[in-house]
Structure 1
Amino acid sequence: MKLSSALLAVGGLIILGPVAAAEDFAAAVQKIASARVSNAAIPGLVVVTVNGQEQKIQGFGLVTKSTDGKNQPQSLPHLPDANTVFEIGSVSKTFTALLLADMQVRGQLKLDDAVAALLPSYTIPQYQGRAITLLDLATQTSALPRLPANLMPKQADNPYADYAENNLRDFLRSYQLTRAPGAKYEYSNLGFGLLGQALSARAGKSYAELVQERITRPLGMADTGIALTATMQKNLATGHDAQGKIVANWDMPTLAGAGALRSSAQDMLRYLQAHMHGANVKVPAGLQLVQQPQRATGMPGLQIALAWHVQSARGQTVVWHNGMTGGYASFIGFTADGQRGVVVLANASVNVDDIGMAALLPAAPAAPAAEASNSASTPTTEKLSATQLAEYSGRYQLAPGAILNISAGPDGLLAQMTGQPQAPVFPRKKDEFFYRVVEASLQFERDATGKIQSLTLHQNGHASPAPRIGDAAPEAAKRTEIQIPAEQLKQYTGSYTLAHGFKLVISEQAGQLYAQATGQGSNAIFAETKDKFFLKVVDAQLSFQRQADGKISGLVLHQNGRNMPGPRDAD
């Protein structure tokens, strides 16, 4: 449950996982993928790797992990393969961007055209006379929010299904921009959904028809689209949430350009190769244009092209995008020189960026000899007291919504990025700690009085400063879970409005409570005391509130130092 920020939807600042040299990256990817399946984090994966002329498609795990009668999948479990179909989520945005580039090259529009010119039936907001352009939408700089505030799904497990075009018109008519378009990068599903609508209007065809005509048919991608063909339905992997529960497929009729497509590894290989060798591909047009950096993101080493993110790290430039729906995750990327590429498709809403990046980034340089005894591969002998460790505890803000929580563990410090697993860090020398799970280190800085005031994350050749913004958040791992009978859990179920258009739906299944935020996947919540629950996948807690008669009247979401109250909606 990424309640705090859309930033994490496009890659956090720490990649938790090893990286590989070019000659052995396929083996490294296989090792990571196998581990993710074997530890039950993801039921099934298909990984595509391209290394020069060598291509490989590998399946791991099963198309579903459920075999009980209450949550029975339509097909029998088997190994996913090149033809297995997955929802690709926000990777669909790269298709939308390619349609835009194709129409630009054909002379059917220009990147700096105002969106309002393509959608005369809409009222598109402006900021002090500055109109939103197609380029603004394609580079996530439109100043539109991540989601429209009037997205209020009737089906919590299919949040976009009943969002109609008239809802989109209504929202845009009333929305006021808070800054000029083009001024700041802010990831927006709404923006790309609007871009899909604009391109469809200019072409006089539906988004699905446009994708088929301009991309999938020319590239021979028969198993890619929005509507499932009989073959796609037969090969569809079962989607699972982060806890392994089977979930519904998503439908996005109005915001299709943001994430509605499904595809297979075989088709995505064709799509990947077209981008890697775009200069030699005649159709679709615009393959080179989509890869050209257009604007900065405000994050070190990261620019945005048309939908694609262009990241420079360790002397390598990679072009990538990721995606996630309620039951699936995806990643596609390639090196800017066209030598290596990767696609990862998973049937669970669990981030797979680390698997993809392992195929694209070169190995970290060896530690200098002088530091060999304290390198990440050699245990440090330095021990710090509990009092010394407590000095470093706190929350450090690396970017909007990306907070690094540092706390004292039994053997040293524990570091946890928003939405990522906790990892230990070890002292190398005073105020400097290193990770063993990834090539990264933390350098703490002190003020004139000697108090820790900030840290700097060193990773992939970049230094990312982070001021200390408060005390360390309580660790979910240290919370004590208690059992509450299923019949008592039902009193908490219902919908709670945290903000206009943003709800938290609490449901109960088989004696377990789940929380699902608008437009996000479902996550289990665990009782710590009566009326107080916590999540394990992210550092967040829920406190339920009662009326005088004892009936639940609302809740408060505690996350990233904020307390967000949400009254319970009327039944």
Structure 2
Amino acid sequence: MLKTTLSLAIALCACGVACAAPLTDAALARVVDQRLAGDRTGACFAVAVIEDAHVARTYRCADGEGALRVGADTAFEIGSVSKTMTAALLAGLIAEGRASLDDPLAAYLPDTVAVPTFEGRPILLRHIVTHTSGLPALPARMQGADPADPYAALDEAALLGSLGDVSLARAPGSRFEYSNFASMLLSYAVARRAGQPFEALLDARVFSPLGMHGAYIAQRPDGVRAATGHLPNGRATAAWTFPDAMAGVGGVRATLDDMVRYVQGQLGSGPEGEASATLAALQATQVTVSEQPPMAMHWMIVPIGGRRVLMHEGGTGGFSSLVGFDVERRRGVVVLSDTALTALGGLGSLGAHLLDPAVPVGAPRREAAPPAEVLDGLVGTWRFETGLQVEIARRGNGLTLHPQGQPVFELGYDDAGDFYPREFNALLSPRRGTDGRYGFVWLQGGAALPATRVASRSASGDAATVSAAPLADYSGTYTLLPGFALTVDAADGRLRAQATGQGAFALDPVRRDVFEAPAYGIALHFTRDAAGAVTGVDLHQGGRVVSGARD
């Protein structure tokens, strides 16, 4: 789960990977060191590149002295990559004629469970595997969970009862909204339809056929060592636990070689005989199911070098993971980290680089001195949409954060331009608006929360009196690029916008026909025709302008 910001898909140039010699272990280690060596998190990585039958492996740590912390016998929490294995179980049931992507979710749950619909349109299984179900990110009855182990106390009654707390805002299938809630329901539904406990089902249909003998959920095999997870500040943190029926959302633990065998299976190779049904199920999960954004069954379809790559990242409280592969080129990559890096951008740059060297490998985050203008620009009182108010103050050449009713926390700063609490896992990412003023987005626990200054901003006259036209005049969809549109509407007396596949954000009036979201560094300049009707928008961000007509 990811930084919330508007971004445009940029096609990456092709490279000659297919013509290059197979990667050696030593060469792979050098690449990983470019991304990891000296990183402030102290993370350790286990990385493999699969090139048909050849596999390069390496185990590296940021400090260069922690190589023994992870190894071939170490099982990592792979987080949401587990969802792709749940998809394989569903694909197997489909092949047996016991399921269909067009089946309603309700058919897989007890008759007493009320599953929400929208104007009579039900949630189908295809909506769950493409994150278009319309269900929220987490079950409502999970509130108050221990953030150090958030799924441990969730039971069947709370999971299914949370469906009764949902009122769908739109038709299933109409919008991408990542939902762990929906994925927990799919895990439960698949196990229930198969008539087996989830871990036993996964072992029988995926782990054992592929030779993933170190992979598990709760029953750790002999000879396998559970890795210790870490926060980005280097501190060890507790493992996450999942109820068996819901473990398909993110509960799998696996060694590097287990995940190598999983990727080899995705590329069509594996043990003969009993693995044939598993290989067919894996292949079935790779078929495109949704186009907005492009998704297979729980696989993100990513264009890299003009090629079709399937990829998924995962993250738990102390781990991050990435699996990606190019079936046509028969090349895959596995990156496992014993440190939670989701809020820091995850493992995407390294994974994409190992699939195509034309993609920048990324760089380690190192401690740095923050610019004085950024420090001064962030000092003040801020409020999140959740209602939480925080005070940011200057302390020497740094900042402190004081959430209302909580202790004061010191913030560090790294050369990627972000602040971070030294005591817990979160990130404060500054954003500079078009007017030069600073705001920020707070990233924690998979959520990205823009902050708004409590003190009223000094108005320039124009900002004090915006257009007399009603906000509804701006509502509509503006296509900026093929497959990428901005939807604008009004809520609670404010204008808001949402880009394809991303979360909605509020807009502040600046002057007639100009609105901005300072926390994201975004400004929208609406255009009108001679009759005064709004006909288009210019999106300003990071020095770039993208224009779109109103549909």
CA distance in 1, matches of 2:375, 2:450: 9
- Indicate the SS of the match to 2:164: helix
Aligned to 1:125: 116
Contact 2:84-2:299 within 8 A present in 1 as well: yes
Aligned to 1:522: 425
Contact 2:191-2:198 within 8 A present in 1 as well: yes
Identity %: 30
CA distance in 2, matches of 1:492, 1:113: 47
Contact 2:12-2:305 within 8 A present in 1 as well: no
Contact 1:48-1:55 within 8 A present in 2 as well: yes
- Indicate the SS of the match to 1:157: coil
Aligned to 1:98: 88
CA distance in 2, matches of 1:327, 1:86: 10
Contact 1:63-1:238 within 8 A present in 2 as well: no
Normalising by structure 2, what TM-score? 0.63
In the TM superposition, what is the alpha-carbon distance from 1:31 to its structure 2 partner? 3.3
Q: After superposition, what is the alpha-carbon deviation per residue over 1:416-442, rounded to whole angstroms, capped at 9, x for unaligned?
A: xxxx989xxxxxxxxxxxxxxxxxxxx
Normalising by structure 1, what TM-score? 0.61
Aligned to 2:318: 327
Matches within 5 A, 1:149-548: 149-229=140-220, 231=222, 235-253=225-243, 255-277=246-268, 281-284=275-278, 285-298=280-293, 303-350=294-341, 351-361=346-356, 363=358, 475=374, 482-483=394-395, 494=406, 522-523=425-426
Contact 1:26-1:359 within 8 A present in 2 as well: no
In the TM superposition, what is the alpha-carbon distance from 1:491 to its structure 2 partner? 8.3
Q: After superposition, what is the alpha-carbon deviation per residue over 1:281-327, rounded to whole angstroms, capped at 9, x for unaligned?
A: 503141221011111124xxxx1111112223323221111111111
Contact 2:118-2:170 within 8 A present in 1 as well: yes
CA distance in 2, matches of 1:222, 1:509: 44
In the TM superposition, what is the alpha-carbon distance from 1:2 to its structure 2 partner? 5.1
Aligned to 1:138: 129
Alignment of 1:80 onto 2:70? yes
- Indicate the SS of the match to 1:522: coil
| Alpha-carbon distance change, 475 to 323 in structure 1, aligned in 2, over 3 angstroms | farther
Contact 1:64-1:238 within 8 A present in 2 as well: no
CA distance in 2, matches of 1:328, 1:312: 26
Q: After superposition, what is the alpha-carbon deviation per residue over 1:37-66, rounded to whole angstroms, capped at 9, x for unaligned?
A: 312245200111111221122111289989
Runs of 5+ in structure 2 lacking a partner?
367-372, 380-392, 414-418, 430-437, 455-517, 523-551
| Alpha-carbon distance change, 146 to 217 in structure 1, aligned in 2, over 3 angstroms | same
In the TM superposition, what is the alpha-carbon distance from 1:200 to its structure 2 partner? 1.0
Q: Which runs of 4+ in 1 moved over 6 A?
A: 14-20, 62-66, 488-491, 506-516, 532-545
- Indicate the SS of the match to 1:257: helix
CA distance in 1, matches of 2:339, 2:171: 37
- Indicate the SS of the match to 2:264: helix
In the TM superposition, what is the alpha-carbon distance from 1:478 to its structure 2 partner? 7.2
| Alpha-carbon distance change, 144 to 510 in structure 1, aligned in 2, over 3 angstroms | closer
Which residue identity lines up with residue 159 of structure 1 in the other structure? P
| Alpha-carbon distance change, 535 to 270 in structure 1, aligned in 2, over 3 angstroms | same
CA distance in 2, matches of 1:216, 1:477: 54
| Alpha-carbon distance change, 197 to 476 in structure 1, aligned in 2, over 3 angstroms | farther
CA distance in 2, matches of 1:170, 1:246: 34
CA distance in 2, matches of 1:65, 1:537: 30
Q: After superposition, what is the alpha-carbon deviation per residue over 1:119-141, rounded to whole angstroms, capped at 9, x for unaligned?
A: 03421111111111112111212
| Alpha-carbon distance change, 260 to 559 in structure 1, aligned in 2, over 3 angstroms | farther
Contact 1:158-1:250 within 8 A present in 2 as well: yes
Q: After superposition, what is the alpha-carbon deviation per residue over 1:71-107, rounded to whole angstroms, capped at 9, x for unaligned?
A: xxxxxx7152222111000100000000000111112
| Alpha-carbon distance change, 354 to 181 in structure 1, aligned in 2, over 3 angstroms | same
CA distance in 2, matches of 1:305, 1:62: 34
CA distance in 1, matches of 2:69, 2:82: 25
| Alpha-carbon distance change, 95 to 540 in structure 1, aligned in 2, over 3 angstroms | closer
In the TM superposition, what is the alpha-carbon distance from 1:220 to its structure 2 partner? 1.9
Contact 1:15-1:354 within 8 A present in 2 as well: no
CA distance in 2, matches of 1:175, 1:104: 28
CA distance in 1, matches of 2:62, 2:365: 24
CA distance in 2, matches of 1:290, 1:353: 21
- Indicate the SS of the match to 1:174: coil
| Alpha-carbon distance change, 161 to 475 in structure 1, aligned in 2, over 3 angstroms | farther
In the TM superposition, what is the alpha-carbon distance from 1:18 to its structure 2 partner? 12
Which residue identity lines up with residue 155 of structure 2 in the other structure? A
Aligned to 1:451: none
| Alpha-carbon distance change, 277 to 154 in structure 1, aligned in 2, over 3 angstroms | closer
Aligned to 1:44: 44
- Indicate the SS of the match to 1:333: strand
CA distance in 1, matches of 2:196, 2:69: 37
Contact 2:115-2:164 within 8 A present in 1 as well: yes
In the TM superposition, what is the alpha-carbon distance from 1:493 to its structure 2 partner? 5.7
In the TM superposition, what is the alpha-carbon distance from 1:252 to its structure 2 partner? 2.5
CA distance in 2, matches of 1:345, 1:25: 21
In the TM superposition, what is the alpha-carbon distance from 1:275 to its structure 2 partner? 0.8
| Alpha-carbon distance change, 132 to 477 in structure 1, aligned in 2, over 3 angstroms | farther
Aligned-residue Cα RMSD (Å) equals: 4.3
Alignment of 1:34 onto 2:29? no
- Indicate the SS of the match to 2:237: coil
| Alpha-carbon distance change, 110 to 535 in structure 1, aligned in 2, over 3 angstroms | closer
Contact 2:13-2:305 within 8 A present in 1 as well: no
| Alpha-carbon distance change, 305 to 508 in structure 1, aligned in 2, over 3 angstroms | same
Contact 2:145-2:151 within 8 A present in 1 as well: no
Q: After superposition, what is the alpha-carbon deviation per residue over 1:429-456, rounded to whole angstroms, capped at 9, x for unaligned?
A: xxxxxxxxxxxxxxxxxxxxxxxxxxxx
Aligned to 1:61: 61
| Alpha-carbon distance change, 169 to 97 in structure 1, aligned in 2, over 3 angstroms | same
CA distance in 1, matches of 2:451, 2:121: 41
Which residue identity lines up with residue 51 of structure 1 in the other structure? E
CA distance in 2, matches of 1:20, 1:352: 23
CA distance in 2, matches of 1:205, 1:63: 44
Aligned length: 406
CA distance in 2, matches of 1:215, 1:61: 30
Q: After superposition, what is the alpha-carbon deviation per residue over 1:325-353, rounded to whole angstroms, capped at 9, x for unaligned?
A: 11111111111215211111011111111
In the TM superposition, what is the alpha-carbon distance from 1:160 to its structure 2 partner? 1.8
